[in-house]
Copies of this chain bind each other. A is one copy, B any other.
Amino acid sequence: MDNGVLGTQVVTQIGIIVKDVEKTARSYADFFGIPEPESFWTDTADLAQTEYEGQPTPARAKLAFFDMGQLQIELIQPDEGPSTWREFLDKQGEGVHHIAFGIKGMKEKIALLGNKGMPLIQKGEFTGGRYAYMNTLDELKVLVELLEND
């Protein structure tokens, strides 16, 4: 067996779209008996360089992260700007948006998946790395996020 197109099978994160990240973060903290993390907005467009459906977008999201075993749960509150986060909330409501995998070689992975019929939906930068959401809905029934840390 090879290691598939990603080079890994280890799910590192589940991303959940929410309307109110602080409220839901409190619920997670209460439910699991864990500290409530600080939530924070993603970087502004000049830093994040977010592209959605091939176009730059000013969209941001307010995030909170919980480390739960090997897996991280990410809560994502979209702003009104155009993004995969906003689109998901408008179309499907709150719920699981993606599963994430740590990869190396972002450009190559995006091209590889694109060639296999799983195109890039959105990408952006964050301090220490970058992400890309790939349209794997037909194949996997959930979006895949590629995460590359420097």
Residues of A within 8 A of B (CB): 1-6, 9-11, 14, 16-18, 24, 27-28, 30-35, 66, 68-71, 73, 75, 92, 94-96, 99, 136, 139-142
Rounded to whole angstroms, the CA-CA distance of A115 and B92 in the bound complex is: 29
Copies in the complex: 2
Which B residue's beta carbon lies closest to that of A118? B31
Tell whether, in the assembled complex, residue A32 and residue B11 are in contact, meaning their CB atoms are under 8 Å apart.
no
Q: Is the CB of A141 within 8 A of B16?
A: yes
Contacts of A2 in B (CB 8 A): 33
Q: Are B140 and A68 in contact (CB under 8 A)?
A: no
- B70 contacts A142, C-beta separation under 8 Å: no
Beyond contacts A4-B31, A14-B96: 13 other A-B pairs, Cβ-Cβ < 8 A, are A1-B33, A2-B33, A5-B33, A9-B66, A9-B68, A11-B73, A16-B141, A28-B139, A28-B140, A70-B70, A92-B92, A95-B95, A96-B142
